[in-house]
């Protein structure tokens, strides 16, 4: 995460990618104990700040819920997104949830509002602000990023046409 830059494309789901438009936290030197490691049955593990919002499928329920990672429990399901061209995703059972110490505090915001972290689908939001409110507050940033991206694409296209002539 510390190598990721604004403007880069990141995975946001099975075959889906989105641009990073800004950071709400970016501190590689941060040291904290308020992190959670979620171990999945397929061997993947997500490590995130306790208040980070993730998608969870509770036992006995079909619809996903948004929960702070600190409220994920063994037996819940999370969406694991496989790497590579074959891709694919599946809801995978949570085997264990532990509190851990970790370094670095990173929270990139994507155009989409989701991001795959450690192979697991998560939101770009934390429990500090209601997810719907945060998404609405960041709408002007996403809009500006789309306009600037489209403008840059048009400039590159114009440059390519000039170079060909």
| Residue-range domains of the chain with CATH | 9-164 (2.170.16.10)
Query: Average pLDDT for residues 137-159, to the nearest whole number?
Result: 66
Report yes or no: 20 and 109 within 8 Å, Cβ to Cβ. Answer: yes
* pTM (2 d.p.): 0.79
Hey, which bits of the chain come out as E strands?
9-13, 16-40, 45-49, 52-56, 65-68, 77-81, 89-110, 114-117, 120-126
Q: What phi and psi, each to the nearest 5 degrees, are found at residue 80?
A: -95, 130
pLDDT value at 40 more than 80: yes
Report yes or no: 95 and 138 within 8 Å, Cβ to Cβ. Answer: no
Report yes or no: 105 and 11 within 8 Å, Cβ to Cβ. Answer: no
Query: Average pLDDT for residues 45-49, to the nearest whole number?
Result: 94
Query: 54-113, pLDDT tens digit by residue?
Result: 999 997 777 889 999 999 999 999 999 877 655 678 899 999 999 998 888 888 888 888
Residues 82-99: b if buried by 16+ CB within 10 A, e if exposed: eeeeeeebeebebeebee
How, if at all, do strands 120-126 and 52-56 pair? antiparallel
Q: Which of 10-19, 82-91, 144-153 has the lowest mean pLDDT?
A: 144-153
Closest by CA position to 54, among listed 40, 72, 36 = 72
pLDDT value at 52 more than 90: yes
């Amino acid at each position: 995460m510390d190598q990721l830059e604004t403007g880069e494309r990141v995975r946001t789901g099975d075959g889906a990618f989105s641009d990073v438009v800004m950071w709400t936290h970016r501190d590689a030197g941060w040291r904290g104990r308020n992190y959670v490691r979620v171990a999945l049955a397929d061997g993947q593990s997500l490590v995130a700040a306790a208040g980070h919002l993730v998608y969870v499928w509770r036992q006995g329920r079909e619809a996903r819920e948004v929960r702070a990672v600190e409220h994920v429990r063994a037996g819940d399901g999370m969406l694991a997104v496989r790497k590579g061209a074959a891709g694919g995703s599946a809801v995978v059972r949570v085997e264990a949830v532990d509190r851990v110490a970790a370094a670095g505090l990173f929270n990139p915001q994507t155009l989409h509002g989701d991001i795959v972290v450690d192979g697991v689908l998560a939101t770009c939001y934390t429990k500090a602000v209601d997810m719907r409110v945060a998404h609405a507050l960041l709408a002007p940033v996403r809009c500006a990023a789309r306009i600037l991206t489209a403008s840059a694409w048009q400039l590159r296209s114009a440059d390519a046409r000039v170079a060909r002539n």
